[in-house]
Structure formats: C-alpha cells, structure tokens
C-alpha cells in the first residue's frame, strides 16, 4: 500500500495535518491526496442525475400521498427548493476547491476543526446505517424471488459484491453506478411519458379512464387534509432527497472536477422537477389520492396497475432493487471517502488516508463496510431496539449536514474571494440573503419535527449523538492544543 501524499492548502496551520485535502490540477490523472481520477464524465453525469433518486422515492411516497393528498406536491416542491439552494452553495465551494471530503473539509477550513470532525463523522455514521437498511431491503426482494436462500445470506452476498466493486477501483464504482442510475432514470422517464399519455386518455390499450387533471381536486380538493398537511408531508419526504451531495465528493476523483461540479449544480433543478415532482404528479393524476392501493401496493405499482401494465409489481421490484443496489454502492463509496478525508486531516486513524496502487482507500472502505455488516446483524438480532436506535439517531443528520453547508458557505465565500477569486465560477444566488433564508427553512423543519412523535425522537436522538461527537472533537482539540503548547514552550533550565 502506498501512503497518501498531501500538499498544504490555503489556511493550513503549521504543526497540524493539512486539512485542505484537495486534488491537484483539474487535468491531472492523479489527485494530490493519493486518489486517482478514475471517474469519467459520463460516470459523473449519471451519478449527478441518479443521485437524487433513492429507493425512498419508490417505496415511501405512498405514505406521503396518504397523509397530505395532492398537496404532497407542494411538500416535494418545498424540500426540492431547499435542496437546490443547498446544492448551489455546495457547488460554489466544490467548484473552487474540489475535495474527497467535500463539505466536511470546507467546514474544517471555514468553521473550525470541531465542525469538520463532527459533521464528517456524523455523515459517515448516516451512510453506514443506510448500508444496513438498503442491504436488508434488497435482501427481502431477492428472497421473494429465490426463497431457498435466507434473507441474511442475500444481505451478505449483496454487501460482499459491492464491497469488491469498490475495492477494485473508483472506475468500477463509477461503471456500476452509471448502469444502476441509468436504469432508474430510464424507468422514471418512461413512467412519466407513459403516465402522461394515460392521463389524457391517448395511451393505446390503457385501462385508465384518462381523467386529465381532475383527480387533483375531485376528492376533497387540493388540500383534503388542510394546508398544515404540507408540513407533515415535508417531514415524510425530506430524507428521500439525501444523496444529492454525493457528486461533490465524487468530483474529486474525476478528470475535470470543476466542470463536473458545474454541470451537476446547474442540472439539479430539472432533475428534481422531472424525477420527483413529475413522477408524483403522474401518480396523483392517474388515481384519486385516497385510493387504498397507493398505500397497499405502493404509489408507482398502483399507478402502473391503473394503466394496465402487466406484472407491475414485479417490474417495480426490479427497479426498486436497482435503486437499492445503487444506494448501497454510493453509500459505501461516500462513507469510505469521508473516512479517507477524515484520516487525511488527522481526525481518523492514519490508515484510512492511505491508498493502494490503484488509488483506492482500502482501509477506509473495509472499516465502513465492517460497521455496515454489524448494523445488518443488529437489524436481524434487535430490529426494534438497537437497530431502531441507530435509525433514529441518524434520522436528522441530513438536515444537520445541510445546515453546516449553509453556515460554511457564508464564511467560505469571503475566503475564496481573498485567496483565489478566479475559481468562483459557481455562485450562490442573492448571497447572503438566500443562504440565510435556507438556514431559516431548515431550522423551521427541525423545530417542526419536534411537534411530531416520530420526528421528535429522531431530532432528539440525532442531537444527542451530534452533541457526543462535538464533545469528543472539542476534547481532542483541547488536548492537541495543550500538546502543541508543551512542545513550543522551552523547558526551564
């Protein structure tokens, strides 16, 4: 294994590990942090497009529709707007300073060592718990197809295969994700097109009456559960957007990080509009929002059944399995790169920051997957206690990450303008007003979660874990400061 090589970046303090963790020049095949630029432009494009599409969109949207009715579209639009703003801020920083640690590295530079340490480890924790959730979801589908193999064995097989993929090279991760994301994108695109034809009654052989937009208001109006249900819907859909930021981590291993980040940031609006709002809009126009099949079979399966697509359930299972594998693949990649970045900044074991001859952070990948395996075991052994605690204590981390990105961008804008203004090629709109507005929106969602029974538990447990991680970071920082002082103070003679 070859050791990671770093170069001191802007803001580096003597006597401390370098925390810039940025790659070399955009045209270089090797990053200065030891990673290789193995992701091609087509990989980054598809990771960017598919990054906002998780299994939660396919599986969880039915519950949101049942809770808010057609007004769930406004819930998706509000959260989508929040994600667009957050991605614009993150894009501004990532285009100027591409890094395998993305927002964690930027928080380290802009807000302090404690911030980079804390949000980095919380984000890592979030994704290793996601590994267990997605492995179990995939195993359930596979067990239904091949019941002779137990569910735990399928979970193990899926985890081993994707771990091997990530260990081979970053290019193999990109290739797998290119096809996984491609299937999701094609499936949703086809669903929207076919659905629109059925909505207007022009799809040959369709079983749907083709009511046009009537279903948006014909069952209790557009707000059947009242305007307040929009906020309830926000709580139910916000976490299905997590993952949009993956492309800014992956950009550090691409041939042209700046260009990749620009494209991903500029395309996030239409991605959310088509894949989230577009597909949910189709479901709501094909069926009355209170149709029992939406919750029973899932919103997409119910919509396909209403059109008369044969074997809709199995078709959707294939697509959901693809989404699960994509999420697993990206989750392992993301967790390992965050661990790698933390190791390079001295906030994790040094072994995490080493890459092998293929530019792969082997120790970071294996450590992440080991915790994922442990979480899978917890899911089977103590699903209602230990694993439920893990789920709830990572539940609000997405919102914490977005908040940190906002506060980091407030500080980082000035740093970039002072040190390298020519790199400010992506700019947050109406800075700083929209940044503060986004902070207010995210804070409101967190506060509103406290009024919801499930949401309250997630926020409080996530805050508890966050407080613990911040406390550890502050203790470490105080100890390091004390050690530096002891070294710098001449001994009394």
Mean pLDDT in consecutive groups of 10 residues from the start of the chain, 493 residues? 38 40 39 66 76 72 90 93 92 85 89 92 91 87 90 89 87 86 88 92 87 91 91 84 80 77 81 89 94 89 90 86 86 90 90 87 92 86 85 86 95 93 91 96 91 86 93 89 76 50
How far is it, in rounded angstroms, from Cα 145 to Cα 129? 25
Report CA-CA distances (Å) from 189 to 59, 184, 256, 275, 279. 17, 8, 28, 8, 8
How far is it, in rounded angstroms, from Cα 319 to Cα 180? 9
Which class for 2: exposed (0-12), middle (13-18), buried (19 or more C-beta within 10 A)? exposed
How far is it, in rounded angstroms, from Cα 189 to Cα 54? 15
SS3 2: strand
Burial state string for 420-436 with b = 16 or more CB within 10 A and e = fewer than 16: eeebeebebeeeeeebe
How far is it, in rounded angstroms, from Cα 339 to Cα 38? 19
pTM of the model: 0.86
The answer to whether 211 touches 224, Cβ cutoff 8 Å, is no
Q: What are phi and psi of 284, to 5 degrees?
A: -70, -25
Q: What is the pLDDT of residue 490?
A: 60
Q: What is the pLDDT of residue 24?
A: 37
Q: What is the pLDDT of residue 23?
A: 38
Tens digits of per-residue pLDDT, 241-284? 877 788 777 777 777 777 878 887 877 888 888 888 999 999 99
Query: Which run of H or E residues covers position 451?
Result: none
Q: For residue 332, give both structure tokens.
A: 């392992």
User: Which residue, 364, 78, 85, is CA-closest to 237?
Assistant: 78
Torsion angle defined by CA atoms of residues 388, 77, 249 and 344, in that order, rounded to the nearest 10 degrees: -50
The answer to whether 131 touches 66, Cβ cutoff 8 Å, is no
Q: What is the pLDDT of residue 206?
A: 87
Which class for 13: exposed (0-12), middle (13-18), buried (19 or more C-beta within 10 A)? exposed
My answer on whether omega of the bond before 101 falls inside 30° of 0, hence cis, is no
Q: What is the pLDDT of residue 311?
A: 86
The answer to whether 236 touches 60, Cβ cutoff 8 Å, is yes
Tens digits of per-residue pLDDT, 436-448? 999 999 999 999 9
Q: What is the pLDDT of residue 38?
A: 74
């Amino acid at each position: 294994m070859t050791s990671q090589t770093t170069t001191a970046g802007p803001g580096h303090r003597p006597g401390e590990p370098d925390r810039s963790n940025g790659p070399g020049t955009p045209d270089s095949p090797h990053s200065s942090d030891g990673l290789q630029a193995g992701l091609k432009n087509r990989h980054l494009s598809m990771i960017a497009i598919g990054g906002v599409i998780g299994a939660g969109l396919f599986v969880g949207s039915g519950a949101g529709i049942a809770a808010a009715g057609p007004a769930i579209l406004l819930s998706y639009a509000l959260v989508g707007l929040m994600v667009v703003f957050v991605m614009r801020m993150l894009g501004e920083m990532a285009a100027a300073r591409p890094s395998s640690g993305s927002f964690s590295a930027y928080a380290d530079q802009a807000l302090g060592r404690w911030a980079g340490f804390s949000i980095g480890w919380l984000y890592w924790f979030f994704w290793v718990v996601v590994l267990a959730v997605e492995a179990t979801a995939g195993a359930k589908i596979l067990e239904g197809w091949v019941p002779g193999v137990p569910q735990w064995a399928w979970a193990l097989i899926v985890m081993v295969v994707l771990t091997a993929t990530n260990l081979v090279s970053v290019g193999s991760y990109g290739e797998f994700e290119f096809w996984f994301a491609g299937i999701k994108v094609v499936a949703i695109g086809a669903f929207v097109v076919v659905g629109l034809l059925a909505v207007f009654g022009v799809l040959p052989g369709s079983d749907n009456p083709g009511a046009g937009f009537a279903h948006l208001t014909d069952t209790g109006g557009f707000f059947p559960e009242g305007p307040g249900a929009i906020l309830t819907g926000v709580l139910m859909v916000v976490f299905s957007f997590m993952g949009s930021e993956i492309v800014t981590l992956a950009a550090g291993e691409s041939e042209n990080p700046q260009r990749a980040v620009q494209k991903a940031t500029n395309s996030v609006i239409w991605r959310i509009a088509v894949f989230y709002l577009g597909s949910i809009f189709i479901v709501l126009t094909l069926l009355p929002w209170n149709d029992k099949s939406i919750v029973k079979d899932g919103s997409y399966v119910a919509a396909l059944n209403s059109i008369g697509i044969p074997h809709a359930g199995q078709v959707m299972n294939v697509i959901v399995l693809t989404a699960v594998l994509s999420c697993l693949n990206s989750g392992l990649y993301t967790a390992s790169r965050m661990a790698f970045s933390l190791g390079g900044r001295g906030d994790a074991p040094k072994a995490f920051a080493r890459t092998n001859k293929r530019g792969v952070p082997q120790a970071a990948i294996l450590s992440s997957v080991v915790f994922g395996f442990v979480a899978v075991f917890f899911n089977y052994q103590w699903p209602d206690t230990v694993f439920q605690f893990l789920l709830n204590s990572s539940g609000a981390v997405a919102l914490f990450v977005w908040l940190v990105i906002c506060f980091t961008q407030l500080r980082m804008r000035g740093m970039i303008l002072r040190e390298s203004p020519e790199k400010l090629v992506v700019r947050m709109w109406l800075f700083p007003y929209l940044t503060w507005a986004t902070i207010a929106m995210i804070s409101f969602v967190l506060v509103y979660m406290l009024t919801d029974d499930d949401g309250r538990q997630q926020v409080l447990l996530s805050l508890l874990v966050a407080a613990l991680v911040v406390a550890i970071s502050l203790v470490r920082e105080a100890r390091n400061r004390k050690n530096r002082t002891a070294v710098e103070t001449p001994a009394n003679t």
